[in-house]
Amino acid sequence: MAEAAENRLSVTVDQLPDLKGADFGPSSWQTITQEDIQQYADVSGDHNPIHTDPEAAAKSPFGTVVAHGYLTLSRVVPLMAEVFEVTELSSGINYGLDKLRFPAPVPAGGRIRIRGTVTEVTEIPGGYQVHADLTWDVEGSDKPACAAKQVLRYYR
């Protein structure tokens, strides 16, 4: 079935139906810096002071500058690449999210990692659709930074 190197799932596209219930991760920790947060604010146009102004952020419920939730979510690609791989395919796409939540903030300089479980695999024309429950851990927090039900498609 799956080739497992500690926390990494690596399968061919035709092995995907065997993955229901399989866990993967956690990935390595990745730091989200204040520079990352500022660059994301500039690109997205979201300059909410809790992300960009240390004085205003200190007065917020978080007490410090925190990363944008969507910045945390956007780290899905490099983090997933470490722990989930499908080979022998023509293409793979992010089809979307069925649910997304941001239970805990990621402070500037905080570290996140991802882990997940394959919850469903269904055949689609030319390949498979995979549903995975993903969790972004934030170092030092009992709550995750992000939780999402991701939908991926892999084509032969």
Rounded to whole angstroms, what are the CA distances from 74 to 5, 37, 83, 126?
A: 25, 12, 16, 27
72 token code pair: 């945390």
pTM of the model: 0.92
Q: How many domains does the chain have?
A: 1
Cα angle for residues 84, 89, 93 (degrees, 5° grid): 65
| Coil/strand/helix, residue 28 | coil
pLDDT band for 76, please (50, 70, 90 cuts). very high
Parent domain of 71: 3-155
Q: Residue 13 belongs to a domain with what CATH number?
A: 3.10.129.10
Omega within 30 of 0 (cis) for the link into 61: no
Predicted local distance difference test score (pLDDT) of residue 6 = 66
Sequence-ordered alpha helix ranges (H) in 4-138:
34-44, 49-52, 54-58, 69-74, 76-83
Sequence-ordered alpha helix ranges (H) in 13-53:
34-44, 49-52
- Say if residue 1's pLDDT is above 60: no
- Tens of pLDDT, residue by residue over 92-141, are 999 999 999 999 999 999 999 999 999 999 999 999 999 999 999 999 99
**d(Cα 87, Cα 103) in Å, to the nearest integer?**
33
